[in-house]
Structures are given as structure tokens and as C-alpha cells.
């Protein structure tokens, strides 16, 4: 039947591709069966009436068969059989075309050429096998964000197809088209992980043009490029390329890079120090020590080390015996003699 329709279309010079073929088959079966039913079925059955036959055709071709309308003559039943076969052929063609269309859409998404529909997401620009997977694992660990992964054309397909939180875009990362397809204009954060610092700077220009208010995080090899990036976006947060964990922390918790930089800088507002608990110190738990350090010295305890390993942010009821090492953040180092003076 599709062959006959195809040959007829060639004769009439019609192009039947895609969805046109199943629709043409359905129309062909409907018209020919209606004409045949009109000629062979007794008029009193009313089956060939225009207001009735379309209902009979749909119900019969879908093999539902309610039985409210049916042919009574032997030849009419043969026509009904023709409608059933034609309906099965049409449905087969329709489902085949639907499966093909869905597969085509999935393939286009895998190749990163389909525009995304995202908002308040993280855009990761640049792909490094292994490194990028670790960054994405951190970004999606808490299930908070969708990630638009943007890669150059040498990455042919989505490298993480089994992760539903990852959406893939492929192309020139400095091009406006990639910015649009990745929905940069609606994103909350853009993480730049270029192949070199010049490329990262060029990507930053494209991102800032698409969304000047975006939270921008860039990985660079040379921290001297920080000022160049700040010409593009004053609020950009720059981290060293070999510290990818800072990329994810800054992306998920904006401003944390500034805290790290302040803590690691000797001229910062808060420096990190350590001290051993002296004999006779009256505060026996970590919570008591935290309260005492905060109220007395404006300091914050971070961790302690006892007989075993280092424990960061331990429970407040953790014992702090004599000789325990306390790690804290303060504007200046606390002299042990000051502790002794404030017992």
C-alpha cells in the first residue's frame, strides 16, 4: 500500500517525505474505502453517510471496533478489512516517523546543537577530560544546579550523557550563538576553564556581553591576568587553574574565593594561627573555647588536633584537654600568656 501511494506520488510528481507519507496513506485509504463502501453497501445501513463514515473509519482503522456502525454485506466487510489493514499500515508509519523524530532530537541534543531552555543555572565553558568530570561532580553533588557544559567543536558529543543535570552545547565558546544556546543571559554563574589565559579572557568578554550581571568565575594559569579580567567584569573571581576545587566552591557559594585569599594573605583582615591549650585552661569543650575566643579576642576557632587526626569544625561538646592544638582565625596572634591572664 505505501508502495502504491509512493508510485502514485511519483506519477503526480509529489514529494512524500517524513510525515507526509503516513498522512498520504491515511488519506488514500480513507477516500478509496469510502468510495467502495458507498458503491457496495446498502444505503439503509447509513455507514457511507459523510457524517458517519469518518467515525467508522477512525474506529475501525485504529482496531478499536465499537460495533455501533458496521457493514452488512459481504463485499462491505471486505472493504472493512481493507480499512483495518490500511489503519495498521498508517499507524506503523506514524510510529516509525515519531521514533525517528525523537531519535533525531536526542541526537541533536547529544551533539550540542539544540538551544537549551534553562534559567538560574551554572554555565561551564571549557572541557578537559577527567578534570571537568570532577568539577561537574562537585557542582551537582547537592542536586542544587543544572549545568550547561559548553565545549569546542572537537568534543563531538556530550561526554556525560547519563547525567540528567548536564546539558551540552558545542561550538565556538567566544561566539554569541553559544551564549544564546547555553542561556547565559538567564544563568546565575559562569565558570570559565579555557585552554589558556588568552582564551579565558576572550570567553569572559563574550559572557559579559551576554549577561553583565552574571557571577563570573575564571581559572587562570597566571594570577597576573586577574586585572585584565577585571577590565571586563569588575566582580570576576579568579582562581589558579591547578585548584579546580576553588572553581566549584566559588560557583556554588559566591564570595568564598575572597575569604580564601584573605586567609592566605599575610596582610588580610583575618589570619590563621594555632596554639596549644596550656595547663589549667578552664574551658573544657570546643564550644566553651569557641565562645571564649569569640567574646574575648574576636577570634573564631576552626579546628583542633588532639591525640588523633585533625578535626575541622568538631561538635561543640568535643573535649579539649591540655596539650590540644587549636586552630583559629583572628586579626593577630593570641599570646598564651593572655589566656593564662584571663582564666
Select from 62, 80, 110 the last residue of a domain.
Answer: 110
Please state which of the ranges 72-81, 114-123, 164-173 shows the lowest mean pLDDT.
72-81
Residue 116 forms part of a structural domain: no
State the pLDDT at residue 343. 45
Q: What is the pLDDT of residues 300-310, one digit of tens each?
A: 999 999 877 88
Please state which of the ranges 26-30, 124-128, 139-143, 268-272 shows the lowest mean pLDDT.
268-272
Q: What is the pLDDT of residues 151-195, one digit of tens each?
A: 999 998 899 988 999 999 999 999 999 999 999 999 999 999 999
Q: What is the pLDDT of residues 17-60, one digit of tens each?
A: 566 777 888 888 888 888 988 888 888 888 888 888 888 888 88
C-alpha grid cell for residue 68? 455501533
What separation in angstroms does the CA of 295 have from each of 68, 242, 274, 291, 292? 87, 38, 18, 6, 5
The string of DSSP codes covering 41-77 is: S-GGG-TTSHHHHHHHHHHHHTT---SSS---SHHHH
pTM: 0.60
Average pLDDT on 60-72 reads: 81
Select from 241, 264, 287 the last residue of a domain.
Answer: 264
Domain CATH for 322: 3.30.70.1450
Answer yes or no: do 258 and 286 share one domain: no
Which residue, 89, 125, 78, 101, is CA-closest to 19?
Answer: 101
Q: Confidence band (pLDDT; 50, 70, 90) for 214? A: very high
C-alpha grid cell for residue 216? 563570573
State the pLDDT at residue 25. 80
Answer yes or no: do 80 and 56 share one domain: yes
Answer yes or no: do 179 and 295 share one domain: no
Mean pLDDT of the chain: 84
Show Cβ contacts of residue 235 under 8 Å, excluding neighbours closer than 6 positions: 215, 216
C-alpha grid cell for residue 266? 599575610
Structural domain that includes position 173: 122-264
Answer yes or no: do 208 and 193 share one domain: yes
Please state which of the ranges 119-128, 263-272, 319-328 shows the lowest mean pLDDT.
263-272
Show Cβ contacts of residue 124 under 8 Å, excluding neighbours closer than 6 positions: 132, 135, 136, 139, 147, 148, 149, 150, 191, 193
Residue 309 forms part of a structural domain: yes
Select from 264, 281, 309 the last residue of a domain.
Answer: 264
Answer yes or no: do 148 and 222 share one domain: yes
The total number of structural domains that make up the chain: 3
C-alpha grid cell for residue 157? 558529543
Answer yes or no: do 229 and 169 share one domain: yes
C-alpha grid cell for residue 6? 509512493
Amino acid at each position: 500500500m505505501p508502495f502504491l501511494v509512493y508510485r502514485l506520488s511519483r506519477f503526480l510528481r509529489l514529494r512524500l517525505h517524513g510525515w507526509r507519507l503516513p498522512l498520504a496513506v491515511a488519506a488514500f485509504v480513507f477516500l478509496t474505502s469510502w468510495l467502495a463502501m458507498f458503491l457496495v453497501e446498502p444505503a439503509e445501513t447509513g455507514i457511507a453517510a459523510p457524517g458517519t463514515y469518518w467515525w467508522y473509519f477512525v474506529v475501525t482503522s485504529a482496531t478499536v471496533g465499537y460495533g455501533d456502525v458496521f457493514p452488512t454485506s459481504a463485499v462491505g466487510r471486505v472493504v472493512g478489512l481493507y480499512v483495518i489493514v490500511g489503519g495498521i499500515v498508517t499507524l506503523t508509519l506514524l510510529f516509525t516517523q515519531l521514533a525517528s523524530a525523537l531519535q533525531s532530537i536526542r541526537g541533536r541534543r547529544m551533539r550540542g546543537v539544540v538551544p537549551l531552555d534553562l534559567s538560574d543555572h551554572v554555565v561551564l565553558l571549557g572541557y578537559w577530560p577527567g578534570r571537568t568530570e570532577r568539577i561537574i561532580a562537585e557542582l551537582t553533588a547537592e542536586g542544587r544546579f543544572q549545568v550547561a557544559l559548553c565545549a569546542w567543536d572537537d568534543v563531538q558529543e556530550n561526554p556525560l550523557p547519563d547525567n540528567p543535570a548536564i546539558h551540552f552545547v558545542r561550538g565556538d565558546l567566544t561566539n554569541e550563538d553559544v551564549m544564546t544556546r547555553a542561556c547565559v543571559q538567564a544563568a546565575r554563574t559562569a565558570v570559565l576553564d579555557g585552554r589558556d589565559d588568552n582564551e579565558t579572557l576572550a570567553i569572559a568578554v563574550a559572557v559579559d556581553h551576554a549577561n553583565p550581571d552574571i557571577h563570573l568565575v575564571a581559572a587562570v594559569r597566571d594570577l597576573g591576568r586577574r586585572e585584565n579580567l577585571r577590565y571586563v567584569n569588575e566582580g570576576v573571581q579568579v582562581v589558579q587553574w591547578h585548584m579546580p576545587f576553588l572553581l566549584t566552591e566559588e560557583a556554588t557559594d559566591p564570595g568564598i574565593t575572597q575569604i580564601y585569599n584573605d586567609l592566605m594573605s599575610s596582610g588580610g583582615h583575618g589570619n590563621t594561627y594555632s596554639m596549644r591549650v596550656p595547663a589549667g585552661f578552664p574551658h573544657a569543650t570546643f564550644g566553651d573555647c569557641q565562645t571564649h575566643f569569640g567574646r574575648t579576642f574576636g577570634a573564631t576557632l576552626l579546628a583542633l588536633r588532639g591525640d588523633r587526626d585533625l578535626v575541622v569544625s568538631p561538635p561543640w561538646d568535643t573535649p579539649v584537654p591540655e596539650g590540644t592544638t587549636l586552630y583559629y582565625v583572628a586579626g593577630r596572634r593570641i599570646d598564651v600568656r593572655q589566656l593564662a591572664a584571663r582564666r
